[in-house]
Amino acid sequence: MIAELFNQLARSRRSVFPDQFEAGKKVDDAIIKEILTNATWAPNHGKTEPWQFTVFSGEGLNKLAAFQSELYKELAGDSFKELTYTKLQQNPLKASHIVAIGMKRTTNKNIPEVEDIEAVACAVQNMYLSVTAYGLGGYWTTGGVTYKEEAKSFFGLGELDKLLGFFYIGYIAIPSKGATRLPLEEKVNWIKE
């Protein structure tokens, strides 16, 4: 039954970090297109479809790595850390594809900005479920240059838009461990009367 399959899919979704990917194994671009198509079917207020995805693969991963590590170096000042710089250079090269997650701000002033952000987050959840269905690993990170204004133009984002992170995709070499959740009763209130 479809409901049971979906329950299993939703409950087996895990973050798979770059060090867990199978080095050098590439996901077919056709699968990436399907994952992104699923992402675009996320709910969004006013049919704004506020997501904008920039996909890096092949040599594009080197371009992303160079951009983010150098921007970090330029902006870090006294808080520069060689370890962070090195990670920003190396982690992108561990993935098959990386999707920069952008939020293009709607021109409809009746839609609060947070609703565009929430719509993009729903799109990312669709990506997470899709990579799980394909037997791939996925990881949404908001590290590095995510919240740097100076980074936005590199991803085709304007002044009112936001960079909401990066979604890494790759084949899994080292599976994530099982996860747990608090009992439903601790997170849900029922009001019946």
Residue 133, C-beta contacts closer than 8 angstroms, at least 6 positions apart: 9
Q: Residue 150: is it exposed, middle or buried by C-beta count within 10 angstroms (0-12/13-18/19+)?
A: exposed
- Under CATH, which number does the domain 25-56+97-174 receive? 3.40.109.10
**Residue reference for tokens 């900005």:** 113
Question: What is the spatial distance between Cα 10 and Cα 186, in angstroms, rounded to a whole number?
Answer: 20
Question: What is the spatial distance between Cα 162 and Cα 127, in angstroms, rounded to a whole number?
Answer: 19
Structure confidence at residue 177 (pLDDT): 87
**Residue-level pLDDT, tens digit, the chain, 193 residues:** 899 999 999 999 999 999 999 989 999 999 999 999 999 999 999 999 999 999 999 999 999 999 999 999 999 999 999 999 999 999 999 999 999 999 999 877 789 999 999 999 999 999 999 999 999 999 999 999 999 999 999 999 999 999 999 999 999 999 998 888 999 999 999 999 9
CB 140 within 8 A of CB 16: no
Structure confidence at residue 179 (pLDDT): 87
**φ/ψ (deg, to 5) at 50:** -80, 0
| 3-state SS class at 139 | strand
| Helices vs. strands in the chain: H and E counts, helices first | 5, 4
What is the pairing mode between strands 162-171 and 97-103? antiparallel
Question: What is the spatial distance between Cα 141 and Cα 149, in angstroms, rounded to a whole number?
Answer: 17
Structure confidence at residue 43 (pLDDT): 96
Question: What is the spatial distance between Cα 70 and Cα 87, in angstroms, rounded to a whole number?
Answer: 12
Q: Structural domain boundaries of the chain? A: 25-56+97-174
